[in-house]
Structure 1
Amino acid sequence: MNPQTPPILRIESVAKSFGPVTAVDGVSLDIRENEFFALLGPSGCGKTTLLRMLAGFETPNAGRILLDGRDISPLPPEKRPLNLMFQSYALFPHMTVRQNLSYGLEMEKLDKTEIRRRVDETLATTDLTQFADRKPEQLSGGQKQRVALARALVKRPKVLLLDEPLGALDKKLREKMQLELKRMQNEAGITFIVVTHDQEEALVMADRMAILKDGRLLQCGSPEEIYEAPADRFVANFIGVMNFIEGTVTGEGHFVAEGLRLALPDARPGPATLAARPETIAVGQPGQRLAGTIADIAYHGLDRVLHVKTAASPVPLQVRVLANGAAAHRIGDTLGLTIDPAKCRLFAGVAA
């Protein structure tokens, strides 16, 4: 995917209200061809409403939705070259997998030879050929998910919209299907827009993602950009795990909190919050940057997360260390934490 590629879908200042409640508040986004794009945010942030406006099931109160430069905002769902795959899958229970895929093409009155060719091709792409003659009741949850996806792909939409597509699956199957979805999107060469509240899911699958809150767009970028350089405290806290230390930037360019002093020469003086990921805090010896006591230890297989009480924060800081080869840490141990300011984010102000 070329970052210079013109957008296939352009969302211009789109807004939607339901009575006094503003669900989407002037969102603008460009989504490129053959891009896996994620809309991410907490419940009620407006991501599903935005997806439904793209599909044509909701009408914007303001703004435009352009597909290949054409305003599709006034078009009904059936006139839009976009397909929406629902979380419920909505398969026809009395039809086989092949019949479920063929039905939409038959409604378009395509030639039978063309229908069979496209269905066979899509069954192969989604690894469903061996299940073509089964009915939904004979399929597992993951297989039903793939059938629903195949039924959307077989119509060859310019853009495929997915609303929490993996929400009905257990954790292990979700992780497998995240990679499967990405593979199928690449092979199909179709733009995917997925709505999810699962941060890890978006980080794994998306080329780019947009973070929404209260109907507003907070940040749009690659998973790496958003994880490593969150635009504000909400995004920093929503994506992954983040430690926050509230303090003050002095006129000499130092961030100061209880027991901590870091040089930040370009920072603006005043109240500020330092944000550091657990993996960016190094464990040293007492007397280094910040002293603390281990309050709890969480084992995660490849690594352990130490919950360390310090004077700098009212809640323990989370510090990630490798489990194999790591020093034997115990609850109650005193240790020193080294915080590299170059690996942190600094936000003006402190929590209200």
Structure 2
Amino acid sequence: MNAETSPILRIESVAKSFGPVTAVDGVSIDVRENEFFALLGPSGCGKTTLLRMLAGFETPNAGRILLDGRDISPLPPEKRPLNLMFQSYALFPHMSVRQNLAYGLEMERLEKAEIRRRVDETLSTTDLTQFADRKPDQLSGGQKQRVALARALVKRPKVLLLDEPLGALDKKLREKMQLELKRMQHEAGITFVIVTHDQEEALVMADRMAILKDGRLLQVGTPEAIYERPADRFVANFIGVMNFIDGRVGEGGLFEAEGLRLALADAGPGPATLAIRPENVALGALGEGLAGTIADIAYHGLDRVLHVKTAASPVPLQIRVPVSGTATHQVGDALSLRIDPARCRLFAGAAA
């Protein structure tokens, strides 16, 4: 996708309060055409409220929502060229898959030939043609999920809104459907905006994502950019696994914590937190880095995660090591950890 693509959906300083509670606090986001965009954050961060405002089920107290340059904030849901797919699917149990897809088009009074053409096309895109004559109770969870998606796609909305669409599926099917959703979005050529609390789901599917906390927007970027260059300690901790070492930066950019000294470029003096991913910590020869002792070992198939006690942190640091390596590790073993300053993030100020 071209990074210069103009936004199809523009959220401008949108705010929403429920009594004394501010659910969304001045959020501004641009979503590009044909983009898979994720709204991500912990429970209560405002992502679902924001999605409901996009769909028209909630009205902003301030700000505007523009679709193709037109302010749709005053429009009711049925007048917006968007479609919202709920986690519950809400399929008509007495209708076949084909009838479920056709229902919305029939309500728009389209000609029968056009309805059949669009239904057949959408059944093919969502890999449901063989199930067209089945009722919902004859389908698996993943098939029902695809029918709900197909029913939304067949109306050809400019933007499809998805609220935790995979939440009802088990882990294995959920992982499969993440790739299916991405494929179908690409084939349909429709902009998707998905709400999820699952960071892995957002990393797998999204072209870009927005991280929200307490109704405020913290960061927008590609999954890789947010994972590698989180804007603050909250984002760093929320996306993936991160080790934190609290210390102080002295003159000349020298970061110091108990047992650790690192020269950092462009680091201002004062209290600071060093952040580094487990896969970016290397093992060195004893006595050459941060000394530690293995407190626990977790097996993850392709790798093991070593939980290492050090003087630099009250919490054991996590280090990923490949299972295929020749080294064997035991709880209680002494280690030396090498931390590359270039692979770290530094957050100024004392830990919260």
| Whole-angstrom CA distance in 2 between matches of 1:229 and 1:183 | 27
Contact 1:274–1:344 under 8 Å retained in 2 = yes
Structure 1 Cα separation of the partners of residues 73 and 55 of structure 2: 9
So what's the TM-score if we normalise by structure 1? 0.99
Question: Amino acid of the residue matched to residue 297 of structure 2?
Answer: I
For 1:329 and 1:291, the matched residues in 2 are separated by 15
Q: Which residue does 1:193 correspond to in 2?
A: 193
User: What residue in structure 1 maps to residue 49 of structure 2?
Assistant: 49
SS in 1 for 2:251: coil
User: 1:28-49: per-residue Cα shift (whole Å, max 9, x none)?
Assistant: 0000000000000000000000
1:30 aligns with 2:30: yes
Please give the residue correspondences for 1:190-269 in structure 2 after superposition, counting only pairs within 5 Å.
Answer: 190-269=190-269
Name the CA distance, whole Å, in 1 between partners of 2:97 and 2:235.
41
Q: Could you tell me which amino acid in structure 1 is paired with residue 3 of structure 2?
A: P
Corresponding position of 2:84: 84
Question: Where do 5+ consecutive residues of structure 1 fail to align?
Answer: none
Q: Which runs of 4+ in 1 moved over 4 A?
A: none
The normalised TM-score by structure 2 is 0.99
One-letter amino acid of the counterpart of residue 305, structure 2 = V
Q: Paired residue for 2:315?
A: 315
In structure 2, distance between residues paired with 1:345 and 1:212: 20
- Asked if the contact 1:260–1:289 (Cα under 8 Å) also holds between the matched residues in 2, the reply is yes
1:107-150 deviations in whole A, cap 9, x for unaligned? 00000000000000000000000000000000000000000000
Residue 273 of structure 1 aligns with which residue? 273
Cα RMSD for the two superposed structures: 0.6
CA distance, structure 2, for counterparts of residue 40 and residue 23 of structure 1: 14
Gap change, CA 1:133 and 1:315, over 3 Å in 2: same
Q: Alpha-carbon deviation of 1:252?
A: 2.5
1:108 corresponds in structure 2 to 108
- Count of residues in Structure 1 that have an aligned counterpart in Structure 2: 352
Q: 1:286 is matched with which residue?
A: 286
Q: What CA distance in whole angstroms lies between the structure 2 residues aligned with 1:162 and 1:311?
A: 45
Percent identity reads 86
- Write the distance in 2 (CA, Å) between the matches of 1:214 and 1:285: 44
The whole-number CA distance in structure 1 between the counterparts of 2:279 and 2:191 is: 33
Amino acid at match of 1:310: T
In structure 2, runs of 5+ residues without a counterpart are none
Q: Give the Cα separation in 1 of the matches to 2:287 and 2:220.
A: 40
**What are the superposed Cα offsets for residues 210-264 of structure 1, whole Å, 9 maximum, x if unpaired?**
0000000000000000000000000000000000000000112110000000001
How far apart are the structure 2 equivalents of 1:177 and 1:276? 31
The AA in structure 1 aligned to 2:117 is: R
Separation (CA, whole Å) in 2 of partners of 1:311 and 1:60: 49
Q: Which amino acid aligns with 1:102?
A: A
Q: Secondary structure of 1:252's match?
A: helix
Q: Does 1:60 align with 2:60?
A: yes
2:142 is matched with: 142
Instruction: State the match for 2:21 in structure 1.
Output: 21
Secondary structure, in 3 states, of the residue corresponding to 2:95?
coil
Report Cα offsets for 1:13-70 as digits up to 9, x if no partner: 0000000000000000000000000000000000000000000000000000000000
